[in-house]
Amino acid sequence: MTRRDERPVIVDALRTPIGTQGGALRGVDATALIAPLLATLAGRSDAPIDEVVLGNIRGPGGNPARVAALQAGLDEATPAITVDRQCGSGMAAIEYSVALLAGVREGFQLAGGTQSASTQPLTFWPPTGPGETPEQYLRAPFTDRAHGDPEMGVAADLLAAEHAIDRERQDTYAARSHQRAVTAAAAGIFAEEMLAVAGLDHDERPRAGFTARRLARFRPAFTPDGTATAANSCGINDGAAAVLLCDGTTAARRGLHGLRVVDVVTVGCAPDRPGWGIVPAVRRLVDRTGLDLDRVDVVDFNEAFAGQVLACLDALGIDEERNCPQGGAIALGHPWAATGAVQLTRLFTQLVRHNTTGARYGLAGIAIGGGQGTAMLVEAV
């Protein structure tokens, strides 16, 4: 590992508003969502962009990062790569870029993720024999057949039951996420991190009227006796986010401030409990860095499902009210491949743009389909 003061630094971050599937961004495809972000961030850099790394899943195929970079007007000589780690793709793109910049590469890179659930192509398994028809599927397999490959909602219900996270607690947590996001939006906190797209200048999902009592009326969404509902789970969304980062030497030489990436870890976990991946990832990160979790100022664990994220917080000994202090994916939405980059953009706002308390450390964590998790520790510098 490179010396701490040489670690890559995120020096800027932007996201689009997060739209609901079929909502205001329904006509904007994955590359068109993120191209304006890349153009704006590149325009704020006074040096060429060395590489573009983007996460995307279930998109148009090919190499969306290259398409988006060209749409953004970046130099044709700038290389680009698209990565797919399911829900962790946006954070994986940043992890990839950090690895490059902590090694032999230097200068500035753009990394992030983009997701357009509204425009994703229809996908089919081919016919299995004569006279058979293609079979449409809405997601690719996350695991092999031996591990069951449960739907994410079903796995979240199982995880909540195993860790005694009851329905009332989940609804209370989800209502709090919406309340926090609505409050932050009203205070203008999202304004500097957000670039309007297709006339949309706000997140579509947060609901001012959501209370635990109202959420209690929703029926189980995934299993008959389950506790996960459409209201205490994330949505299906459109959105994109990207960060501008550089190697530590470049940041120091130019006097740039932002978020130093102290460490980032990705690990695997039980494939049939994919929502658990945050826990082993954070534990490995703590082992590597020696940081006491009580010293983390801002925690952002992706809120895929209230029961799932509460189980992870409990296992790590983190008070649930510390997570996502300005609302998380239950309120803002979860544009799959973009979410990890949205999390880092949110940390950039809280630790750099609007840091009035001297807060220093931020911790992002995301669970991934197929049984993986990523955790990233950043430090305001």
Q: Which amino acid, 352? A: V
Catalytic residue (choose from 87, 234, 246, 269): 87
Q: Is 334 considered catalytic here? A: yes
Q: Which two tokens stand for residue 300?
A: 């952002």
Q: Which two tokens stand for residue 131?
A: 């006279």
Q: Is 312 considered catalytic here? A: no
Would you call 320 helix, strand, or coil by DSSP?
helix
Q: Which amino acid, 10? A: I
Strand partners of residue 200: 197
Count Cα atoms within 13 angstroms, Cβ side, for 326.
19
Buried b (16+ CB within 10 A) or exposed e, 245-265: bbbbbbbeeeebebbbbbbbb
Max Cα distance, the chain (Å): 68
Residues in contact with 103: Cβ distance below 8 Å, sequence separation at least 6, in sequence order: none
Catalytic residue (choose from 178, 246, 269, 334): 334
- DSSP E strands in 119-236: the ranges are 123-125, 135-137
Q: Which two tokens stand for residue 247?
A: 């190697």
- In angstroms and rounded to an integer, the radius of gyration of the C-alpha atoms of the chain is 20
CB 276 within 8 A of CB 302: no
Instruction: State the catalytic residues.
Output: 87, 334
